[in-house]
Amino acid sequence: MILIGELAKQTGVAIGTIRFYEQKGVLPEAQRNVSGNRVYDDEALHWLLFVSYLRQTGMSVSQLRTYRELIDAGPETVPQRIEILKKQRQAALNQIAAAQEQVAQIDHKISNYKAGYADYL
């Protein structure tokens, strides 16, 4: 079991964000130790890391809560979860394509400058 500070350190997610995710139903409510501190297990750690990846692809907190509710509802929701993840996968691929285009445009600009087009916008 790990305390919230260690969970934040291991996942790169701020303590306030962890509490927010708990409040919004994205992260299951933490257990408390005898001192009343939040404590988390390895499952919470792995889930929070996955949540971070999903957030990076643009998944909203509301969508995360829905996805979590499907997990909690049991294995019969696997087809719905797969559909959600397929959409997020496509969102990530779209982000990659956009980033590749941005890099290509920057490379083009660098090439123009190196070729002597100093006045080139």
Alpha-carbon span 67 to 77, nearest angstrom: 10
User: Which residue segments constitute the domains of the chain, with CATH numbers given?
Assistant: 2-114 (1.10.1660.10)
Express each pLDDT in 12-22 by its tens digit: 999 999 999 99
Express each pLDDT in 56-89 by its tens digit: 999 999 999 999 999 999 999 999 999 999 999 9
Q: Which two tokens stand for residue 2?
A: 């790990």
Alpha-carbon span 20 to 86, nearest angstrom: 26
Burial status of residue 74 (CB atoms within 10 A of its CB: 0-12, 13-18, 19 or more): exposed
Q: Which residue has the higher pLDDT, 115 or 78?
A: 78
Q: Where are the alpha helices (DSSP H) in the chain?
A: 4-11, 15-24, 42-56, 61-73, 78-114
105-117: average pLDDT: 91
Alpha-carbon span 119 to 49, nearest angstrom: 46
pLDDT bucket at 55, cuts 50 / 70 / 90: very high
Determine the pLDDT at residue 38: 92
32-45: average pLDDT: 93
pLDDT bucket at 120, cuts 50 / 70 / 90: low
Is it the case that residue 108 has pLDDT exceeding 70?
yes
26-31: average pLDDT: 92
